[in-house]
């Protein structure tokens, strides 16, 4: 499974991507954490054990496909994508995900915390 979180605020976008890198000689044993901000990418190797809580949250989430929320002009917008290969699902929201999408906000927070732990950067 791949997870990608994009956070956009004031014209800047941060992307955090968790995936299995096909070019890595150990790609079936480890994941890659890629963090990109301002065109600069940092990559880290992540053991699957570090991702267990995130994957558990993704697999247990029950989320309606659309909730009809308002959007704004300032603040943060989020896009969270899950999938593998050709099968992907993306959810986008502005500022807060809302009650029906609360699991998405929690997963995004977990992904962001993981990236912050590795990079030391705040990202927002």
CATH of the domain at 45: 3.30.1560
- Residue 124 domain-assigned? no
Q: How many domains does the chain have?
A: 1
Write out the chain's pLDDT in tens, 124 residues: 899 999 998 889 999 999 988 777 666 678 999 999 988 999 999 999 999 999 999 999 999 988 876 666 778 899 999 998 789 999 999 998 888 999 999 999 999 999 999 998 776 5
- Residue 28 domain-assigned? yes
- Residue 122 domain-assigned? no
- Residue 34 domain-assigned? yes
- Residue 7 domain-assigned? yes
- Residue 111 domain-assigned? yes
By residue range, what is the domain housing residue 61? Answer: 2-117
Please tell me the pTM assigned to this model.
0.90
Q: Which two tokens stand for residue 53?
A: 């809580």
- Residue 110 domain-assigned? yes
């Amino acid at each position: 499974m791949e997870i990608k979180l994009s956070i956009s605020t004031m014209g800047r976008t941060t992307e955090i991507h968790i995936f299995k890198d096909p070019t890595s000689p150990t790609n079936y044993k480890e994941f890659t954490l890629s963090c990109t901000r301002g065109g600069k990418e940092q990559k880290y190797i992540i053991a699957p054990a570090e991702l267990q809580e995130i994957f558990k949250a993704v697999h247990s989430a029950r989320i309606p496909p659309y909730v009809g929320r308002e959007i704004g002009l300032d603040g943060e917008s989020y896009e969270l994508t899950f999938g593998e290969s050709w099968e992907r699902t993306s959810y986008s929201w502005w500022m807060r995900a809302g009650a029906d999408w609360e699991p998405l906000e929690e997963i995004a927070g977990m992904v962001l915390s993981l990236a912050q732990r590795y990079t030391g950067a705040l990202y927002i």
